[in-house]
Amino acid sequence: MRGRRDEFVPFSVVFGLPTEVGLWTAANALGLSLATAYRRIGRGDFPCALRKVGRTYVVRMPDLMRALRIQDVRVHHDDIEAGARFAAGMTDD
């Protein structure tokens, strides 16, 4: 028996957010200067988990959203379609 297709999609996917962002973008979103971000990394108290790719730091989008207290809720496909109709000024009359 085949499983049903998942009818939900994460909020971050709906809005086409990247899976990872660079340190500059993460620091900017967190209201930190790049110098402060590097200082906090050195002290081990950067607000979210980091990963080093070569010489560059990257932050996974779910970790950044969590640090910003943005919940990456799962959205039902029907709600996306209804929201698009509403945004286009179409009603279900």
Kindly report, residue by residue over 53-68, the tens digit of the pLDDT: 999 999 998 899 899 8
Length of the chain: 93
Amino acid letter, residue 21: V
Question: Within a domain: residue 1?
Answer: no
Question: Within a domain: residue 43?
Answer: yes
Number of domains observed in the structure of the chain: 1
Q: Where in the sequence is the domain holding 76, given as residue range(s)?
A: 8-87
For the chain, percent of residues with pLDDT exceeding 70: 73
To the question of pTM greater than 0.75 for the whole model, the response is: no
Cα→Cα distances 68→23, 30, 79, Å: 15, 7, 24
State which H helix or E strand residue 56 sits in: strand 56-60
Question: Within a domain: residue 80?
Answer: yes
d(CA 64, CA 10): 15
Question: Within a domain: residue 25?
Answer: yes
d(CA 59, CA 68): 13
Residue 74: pLDDT over 80? no
